[in-house]
């Protein structure tokens, strides 16, 4: 197994741009049951996705690529990628699912940042993407397809580095590392990265992912991503599909749909100054509240901003 320092160094060797990213704060919240919170939302717009963007986009810019990425009209990933592209001077194109009438103001923001195509169906988006790739090949253009959520093997390895941060932050505070962790799941990259980091360091922590957007994210996909990250890092260990803990109990209506429990906990925390996005983080915390015991300490990772 690796030490936290060794894991951090291996992540920085793969993704040197991550050296510019400050460590996100670790907080203790007064809630029913002890809860430690890793505030990746405080990293800046995109939250944990900034780890992914720093791992992938500067290298794409150096190669002279155009990045094409995907999501729904309310996608945090698409917005963070477009804004990061502007910052780098990197051409970014967006293919989004949704209707113009769903959120005209947000669509205008997207189109001000990057060329944006809106599609009513996944079939239309897929056909548009295939055509764009063919055109790029004919033109000799370097086009990089960046998956939904920015989830790649390299970006998953970048997320694994946050586990080294967590271990060091708890050690600095002289507090025992919680044995149970919870995180919201969209594309699966954050969960896979945390699992890879836990395995690389030989920790006994159990990481639970709470599906907040889709039923399509399965345990095999998450374990495959985690293992790809471990191989990139040259780290020992293996994550089996059976090792992945995923809950769909708070999925509700799926993408962009709150549940009664997530709405309730969001309002309760907002009343004491703890603001969460209404979907991903609130759903993960709603699941946690259904499981937590007063004598059991948990770590909650906030992957996205409000």
pLDDT above 60 (res 192): yes
Is the confidence at residue 306, as pLDDT, over 70?
Answer: no
The pLDDT of residue 276 is 80
pLDDT higher for 83 or 296? 83
The closest of 89, 98, 51 to 70, measured between CA atoms, is: 98
Q: Pinpoint the alpha helices (H) of the chain.
A: 4-14, 49-62, 76-88, 104-113, 122-139, 153-173, 189-201, 219-233, 260-270, 280-291
Q: What percent of the chain has pLDDT over 70?
A: 98
Cα(196)–Cα(65) distance, integer angstroms: 29
pLDDT tens-digit profile of 86-101?
999 999 999 999 999 9
SS (H, E, C) 269-296: HHCCCCCCCCCHHHHHHHHHHHHCCCCC
Q: Which domains does the chain have, with CATH numbers?
A: 4-46+151-302 (3.40.50.1100), 66-141 (3.40.50.1100)
Average pLDDT of the segment spanning 247-272: 84
Residue range 160-181, pLDDT digits in tens: 999 999 999 999 999 999 999 9
Please give the share of the chain, as a percent, with pLDDT higher than 90.
73
Confidence of residue 30 (pLDDT cuts 50, 70, 90): confident
pLDDT for 304: 67
pLDDT interval class at 262 (50, 70, 90): confident
Q: Is the pLDDT of residue 278 over 90?
A: no
The answer to whether 289 and 283 are in contact (CB under 8 A) is: no
Buried b (16+ CB within 10 A) or exposed e, 53-74: bbbbbbebbeeebbbbbbbbbb
pLDDT score for 32: 61
pLDDT at 33: 65
Structure confidence at residue 164 (pLDDT): 97
Q: What is the mean pLDDT of residues 300-304?
A: 80
Q: What is the pLDDT of residue 2?
A: 95
């Amino acid at each position: 197994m690796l030490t936290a320092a060794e894991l951090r160094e291996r992540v920085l060797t793969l993704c040197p741009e991550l050296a510019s990213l400050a460590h996100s704060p670790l907080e203790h919240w007064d809630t029913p049951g002890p809860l430690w919170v890793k505030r990746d939302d405080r990293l800046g717009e995109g939250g944990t996705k900034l780890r992914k963007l720093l791992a992938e986009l500067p290298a794409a810019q150096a190669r002279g690529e155009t990045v094409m990425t995907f999501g729904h009209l309310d996608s945090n990933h698409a917005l963070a990628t477009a804004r990061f592209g502007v910052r780098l001077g990197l051409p970014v194109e967006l293919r989004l699912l949704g209707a113009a009438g769903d959120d005209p103001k947000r669509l205008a923001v997207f189109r001000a940042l990057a060329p944006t195509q809106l599609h009513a169906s996944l079939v239309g988006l897929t056909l548009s993407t295939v055509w764009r790739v063919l055109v790029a090949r004919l033109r000799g253009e370097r086009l990089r397809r960046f998956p939904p959520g920015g989830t790649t093997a390299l970006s998953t390895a970048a997320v694994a580095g946050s586990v080294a941060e967590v271990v060091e932050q708890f050690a600095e505070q002289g507090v025992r590392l919680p044995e149970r962790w919870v995180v919201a799941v969209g594309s699966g990259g954050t969960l896979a990265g945390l699992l890879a980091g836990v395995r690389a360091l030989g920790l006994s922590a159990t990481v639970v992912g709470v599906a907040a957007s889709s039923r399509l994210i399965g345990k095999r996909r998450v374990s495959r991503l985690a293992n790809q990250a471990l191989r990139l890092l040259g780290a020992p260990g293996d994550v089996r599909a059976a090792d992945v803990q995923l809950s769909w109990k708070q999925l509700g209506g799926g993408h962009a749909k709150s549940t009664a429990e997530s709405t309730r906990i969001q309002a309760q925390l907002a009343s004491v100054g703890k603001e969460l996005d209404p979907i991903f983080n609130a759903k993960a915390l709603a699941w946690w509240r259904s499981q937590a015991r007063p004598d059991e300490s948990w770590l909650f990772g906030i992957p996205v901003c409000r």
